[in-house]
């Protein structure tokens, strides 16, 4: 769900091992404060450092899933970074608070609001911005379609900008079965949905893989499901060809013939495995 981009984890020394992620993290009064999520490990086992999603984030995710059937996050379409002392001098500001815009996505809410590279966002709809992480979380928590006011510095001069929040796009691809029933264009990976693997998500996950595509959905009774492919598996190769992202996945699968077997290289948890998917499954 990409939560590592939007929320500071609670670090804990409570033991988190494979199989008990998703369990409750409680305080001494038995009150829920987080959901155990991930560990830092170099051996594959627990090393005394665990991470939990704060309960307020877990609650918002739960409510979004109930209401929309997916996690909906706000988005404005900017790349932001911290302001170091050196950058503060270069941009002529006196402190390092705020979020520096490094890039603006074309046709995004930020572009439509005329935000520019080099702008420093100092306030988000009444909340003073300390750092990029805070701004990212505030935007993500804002419902798409909401109009908010940003205060920023541009060439050392203050400006107020009104912007309408968009919905965070997710780069994913789904290989669907044809409705005509003739099977033309289908292959043994038809019926799975994948998304890009990000550095941020892998940093806190169990896998150390930094590229590939993660399987998010598998159609029931598809060849891939019967072969043993699971949601959460990271596809790193297809027929010995490396898969770095969704574009690689689409390019390779578009060349597959309907009856050809496929050899996948997967990361599953801390293990790396091969999986054969063929029409006999």
Q: What is the pLDDT of residues 118-163, one digit of tens each?
A: 999 999 999 999 999 899 989 988 999 999 999 999 999 999 999 9
Of 43, 49, 51, 48, the closest CA to residue 21 belongs to 51
Is there a domain that residue 126 lies in?
yes
28 and 97 in a common domain: no
Is there a domain that residue 2 lies in?
no
29 and 113 in a common domain: no
Is there a domain that residue 50 lies in?
yes
Q: What is the pLDDT of residues 164-217, one digit of tens each?
A: 999 988 665 555 544 333 344 578 899 899 988 864 454 434 455 678 999 988
The span from the CA of 212 to the CA of 242, in Å, is 8
Q: Please report the pLDDT score of residue 241 as a whole number.
A: 94
Our CA dihedral for 220, 19, 194, 145, rounded to 10 degrees, sits at 100
The CATH number linked to 144 is 2.30.42.10
194 and 124 in a common domain: no
Alpha carbons within 13 A on the beta-carbon side of 141: 15
Identify the sign of the CA torsion 100, 56, 9, 269: negative
C-beta neighbour count of 59 within 10 angstroms: 13
Is there a domain that residue 172 lies in?
no
Lowest mean pLDDT among 64-78, 169-183, 265-279: 169-183
Domain residue limits at 54: 10-68
Q: What is the pLDDT of residues 239-263, one digit of tens each?
A: 999 999 999 999 999 998 887 889 9
Q: Please report the pLDDT score of residue 69 as a whole number.
A: 85
80 and 64 in a common domain: no
% pLDDT > 70, the chain? 82
The CATH number linked to 37 is 2.40.10.10
265 and 221 in a common domain: yes
Domain's final residue, options 167, 195, 212 = 167
109 and 53 in a common domain: no
Is there a domain that residue 32 lies in?
yes
108 and 94 in a common domain: yes
pLDDT, mean over the chain = 83
- Number of structural domains found in the chain: 3
C-beta neighbour count of 99 within 10 angstroms: 24
Contact 100, 33 (CB under 8 A): no
The span from the first CA to the last CA of the chain, in angstroms, equals: 30
223 and 209 in a common domain: yes
The span from the CA of 152 to the CA of 150, in Å, is 6
Question: 75 falls in which pLDDT band (50, 70, 90)?
Answer: very high
257 and 211 in a common domain: yes
85 and 28 in a common domain: no
80 and 62 in a common domain: no
Angle at 259 between CA 254 and CA 260, to 5 degrees: 70
18-23 average pLDDT score: 73
Domain's final residue, options 68, 98, 115 = 68
Domain's final residue, options 132, 167, 202 = 167
Q: Please report the pLDDT score of residue 44 as a whole number.
A: 55
Is there a domain that residue 143 lies in?
yes
Is there a domain that residue 187 lies in?
yes
109 and 151 in a common domain: yes
Is there a domain that residue 1 lies in?
no
């Amino acid at each position: 769900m990409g939560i590592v981009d939007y929320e500071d984890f609670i670090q804990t020394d409570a033991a988190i091992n494979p199989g008990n992620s998703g369990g409750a993290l409680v305080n001494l009064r038995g009150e829920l404060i987080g959901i155990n999520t991930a560990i830092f490990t170099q051996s594959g086992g627990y090393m005394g450092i665990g991470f939990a999603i704060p309960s307020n984030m877990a609650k918002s995710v739960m409510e979004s899933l109930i209401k929309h059937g997916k996690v909906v996050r706000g988005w404005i379409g900017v790349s932001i970074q911290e302001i170091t002392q050196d950058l503060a001098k270069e941009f002529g500001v006196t402190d390092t608070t705020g979020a520096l815009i490094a890039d603006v996505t074309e046709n995004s809410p930020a572009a439509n609001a005329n935000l520019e590279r080099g702008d420093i966002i100092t306030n988000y709809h009444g909340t003073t911005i300390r750092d990029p992480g805070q701004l990212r979380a505030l935007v993500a928590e804002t419902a798409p379609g909401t109009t908010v006011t940003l205060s920023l510095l541009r060439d050392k001069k203050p400006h107020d900008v009104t912007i309408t929040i968009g919905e965070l796009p997710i780069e994913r691809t789904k290989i669907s079965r044809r409705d005509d029933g003739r099977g033309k264009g289908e292959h043994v990976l038809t019926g799975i949905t994948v998304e890009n693997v990000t550095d941020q998500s892998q940093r806190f996950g169990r896998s150390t893989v930094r590229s590939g595509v993660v399987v998010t959905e598998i159609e029931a009774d598809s060849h891939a499901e019967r072969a043993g492919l699971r949601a959460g598996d990271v596809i790193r190769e297809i027929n010995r060809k490396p898969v770095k992202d969704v574009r690689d996945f689409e390019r390779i699968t578009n060349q597959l013939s309907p009856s050809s077997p496929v050899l996948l290289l997967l990361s599953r948890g801390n293990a790396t495995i091969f999986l054969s998917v063929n029409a006999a499954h």
